[in-house]
Amino acid sequence: MNGMPECIQTGGEMAGMELLGTVVSIRGSVVDVRFPENLPAVNHALRTGAEGKIVIEVVAHQSADTVRGIALTPTQGLSRGAPVIATGLPLRVPVGKRLLGRMLNVFGAPIDGGESFEGGEWRSIHQPPLPLARRSAKMEMFETGIKAIDLLSPLERGGKAGMFGGAGVGKTVVIAELIHNMAGRYQGVSLFCGIGERCREAEETYREMLESGVLERAVLMFGQMNEAPGARFRVGHAALTIAEYFRDEEKQDVLLLIDNIFRFIQAGTEVSGLMGRIPSRVGYQPTLATELAELEERISSSRTGAITSVQAVYVPADDFTDPSASHTFSHLSASVVLSRKRAAQGFYPAIDPLASNSKMLNPAVVGDRHYRVAQDVRRMLAEYEELKDIIAMLGLEELSEMDRRTVNRARRLERFLTQPFFATEQFTGQPGRWVGLEQTLTGCERILADHYADAPENALYMIGTIDEAKLDAGGDKA
Residues assigned a catalytic role: 171, 197-198
Dihedral of CA atoms 348, 352, 354, 358 in degrees, nearest 10, equals -100
- 349, 411, 423, 421: which is closest to 385 by C-alpha? 411
Beta-bridge mates of residue 17: none
Alpha helices, DSSP H, located in 275-367: 288-296, 323-329, 340-344, 363-366
Q: Please state, in angstroms and rounded to a whole number, the distance separating the CA atoms of residues 67 and 57.
A: 10
CA–CA gap between residue 259 and residue 244 (Å, rounded): 19
* DSSP for 362-430, written as a single string: SHHHH-HHHHHHHHHHHHHHHHHHHHHHHHHHH-GGGS-HHHHHHHHHHHHHHHHT----GGGHHHH--
Phi, psi of 6, rounded to the nearest 5 degrees: -60, -35
Q: How far is CA 308 from CA 233, 291, 383, 438, in A?
A: 21, 20, 34, 22
Distance CA 38, CA 19 (A): 7
Q: How far apart are CA 145 and CA 419, in angstroms?
A: 10
